[in-house]
Amino acid sequence: MTHAALNSVHRHVFLDRDQSILAFNERVLDWACRADVPLLERLRYLAIVSSNLDEFFEVRFAPHHTARLTNEQRGAATVDTYRALTERVHALVERQYAIYNDELLPALEKRGIRIISHGERNPRQRRWVREYFVNEVQPLLLPVGLDPSHPFPQVANKSLNFIVRLGGRDAFGRENEIAIVKVPRALKRFVPMPGVKGSKQLHFVSISSIVRSHLADLFPGRTVLEFSQFRVTRHSDLAVDEEEVKNLRTALRLGLQQRHYGQALRLEVSAGCSDFLAGFLLEQFNLPPESLYRVAGPVNLVRLNQLVDLIDAPALRFERFTPGWPVALVPGQSFFERLKQGDVLIHQPFESFDAVLAFLREAVEDPQVLAIKQTIYRTGSRGEMTELLREAVRRGKEVTAVVELKARFDEEANINHAERLESVGAQVVYGIVGLKTHAKMLLVTRREDGRIVRYAHVSTGNYNPGTAKVYTDLSYLTADEALTADVDHIFGHLASQNRLPRLQKVLMAPFHLHKGMLERIDAAIAAAKAGRPAQIVLKMNALTDEPLARALVAASQAGVQVEAIVRGACILPAGVPGHTDNVRIRSVIGRFLEHSRVFYFRCGDEEELWLSSADWMNRNMLRRVELAWPVTDPHLRARIMDECLHLYLADQRDAWLLQPDGNYVKAASLAAKPARGSGLPSAQASLMGRYGTKG
């Protein structure tokens, strides 16, 4: 298909990306309402939505906000997009707090779990709270009274604060009436209260309630007339001109110090905050009235995670799930010997990520291993893999780490990993200027019988043992000479920045991946036009790249059957007459976060199956280093088709179906009533039963 033909597909058929992100969060919020979800897990899903909304404002909202302030278009952002998004976020937040107050808190209370407000506390509890405030909280609070020499203080992104309006005069006889109290992040957001002897009830108090109950103690001789908690969300995407800086690591460290004080975008206050205090805060942060969110509860529901972690109630949580050891591996068997027999697939979290750590550990301890190369994008703060790489250096192996310093919100952790590796002599490089290295690669070079042999691990997900327990991903271990040679060439390219040799199997962004996917869509179109079977089945986290979306529209118009399992943002509509009649799109929201990327193409009798680190987003295709690799082993291909595509296309419990009007409906609402004793099919539940153990 020519570029002109691609552009002939009308852009207006596409859905709005930011609206699609909010729609995804509405689907996540549904888990907080589901009666079949344990109570504490429902509370956690409520917190997940709040965390996602925080990131939405921090990363996506600034252009819309600027368009509102300037009344000028900023790219695709306009005053209209600002208003539409703001209206939807307000509705989403209102629904969150309604669920919190009307459903979850009463349900917790029935289970003997209560968050006790000041008005509900008995005299004994009030004495305990006062003692806690005096001993643990007040020493860390420093009220700031505002006057010409004490201007409005810097308020950090997402921090908890109080604004107080005071009566009377200060120590100098002045009537300055506004004060700000910052609540340090070091203070626990929920505190267990001593229970009544013999009672099984659990009582907690929030830090905001503790502070608000004793604000008067912070202003002796003054009268607290009114007050409100507040929280501001700021633009937090780091912007570093890589062409100008001489040391990216140093520049990012400096940028991290400023991240907490970016442009204000959202102001959250208590529902009862007076118009006077709300207006004062809006003026200080240069925010329009629409940016004000009055909430009936804590201004930061993300911190509910702390409450969930404090409650020891297994009956209110998901049943414990233990991943099985990968079926293709025998515990204790050498990975190198096993990979000589063929490639190995690990489906996380149903199969254990510990096998990947074991592979690296064997490479570290094996005296025949000469070199280890690995990309580090998100490995977590604990750094098990970093420690293994450090041990490899100590054992005399050549270790190269390609560390992505610009992994959003993991910058500091990755800087620390890089410095720890450099401190023992590992070679650390930071990829290519202007591109994020998002590819997940681990290459082991070994001497066997006088010759060099390579082994590789490539993955759709991160080298993070923590997220590997809750994200669905595919790990792929191989000794395939062509594939491992490609990975070696890519590592050499990232380190030396020399021209990349021709790759045999791998498609790499930003050079080949975008073009390769477009070519395969074109091949399916050609097959359909020739009257041969043509099908495309895709699984990914986001589909927002317009050229690829236009190509899929053209494929639908040519008669190609397109099935897409897209967890989050998706600009491609489904079932729009004349455009996407043959497109069906579903989103699966489950206990685990769907994260694997699988691309299947059928053109007549020919089939291709690809795994990838990349979503179909413009940034992944053109501004990142990404990999896609083919699965040619027929048994592994059949397994991936079954576990990652067919099971998900049949899911009726956790799936949502995109409608022609851009809205999603639950697959369960359209499903036939299941037979007695059987539930609606769930892909994740099926895989948990197939591979894991419970309890």
Active site residues: 438
- Rounded to whole angstroms, how far apart are CA atoms 502 and 509? 13
Phi, psi dihedral angles at 585 (to 5 degrees): -130, 135
Residue 92, CB-side half-sphere exposure with 13 Å CA sphere: 25
Integer Cα distance of 404 and 428 in angstroms: 10
Cβ-count burial of 462 within 10 angstroms (0-12 exposed, 13-18 middle, 19+ buried)?
buried
Sign of CA dihedral 643, 644, 650, 656: positive
CA distance 370 to 538: 38
The HSE-up count of residue 274 (CA atoms within 13 Å, CB side) is 10
How far is 343 from 633, CA to CA, in rounded Å?
Answer: 8
Distance from C-alpha of 9 to C-alpha of 518, rounded to nearest angstrom:
15
Distance CA 203, CA 191 (A): 9
Extract the annotated binding site. 52, 378, 408, 471, 567, 595
Residues pairing with 588 in the sheet: 655
265 burial (CB, 10 Å; 0-12 / 13-18 / 19+) is buried
- Beta-bridged to residue 184, according to DSSP, are none
Tokens linked to 444: 């082991």
3-state helix/strand/coil string of 512-538: CHHHHHHHHHHHHHHHHHCCCCEEEEE
- Per DSSP bridges, beta strands 561-566 and 451-459 are unpaired
Q: Which residues are annotated as a binding site for Mg(2+)?
A: 378, 408
Dihedral angle over CA of 250, 256, 262, 266, nearest 10: 160
Binding-site positions for ATP read 52, 471, 567, 595
Instruction: Using DSSP bridges, classify how beta strands 561-566 and 583-588 pair: parallel, antiparallel or unpaired.
Output: parallel
Q: What is the DSSP string of 627-649?
A: EEEE---HHHHHHHIIIIIIHHH
Nearest to 266 by CA among 68, 102, 75, 78: 68
Contact residues for 586 (Cβ-Cβ < 8 A; gap 6+): 563, 564, 565, 566, 648, 649, 651, 655, 656, 657, 658, 667
Distance of alpha carbon 476 from alpha carbon 474, whole angstroms: 6
Q: What is the C-alpha R_g of the chain?
A: 27
CA 216, CA 553: separation in Å to the nearest integer? Answer: 63
Q: Which of 324, 439, 308, 444 is nearest to 372 (CA)?
A: 444
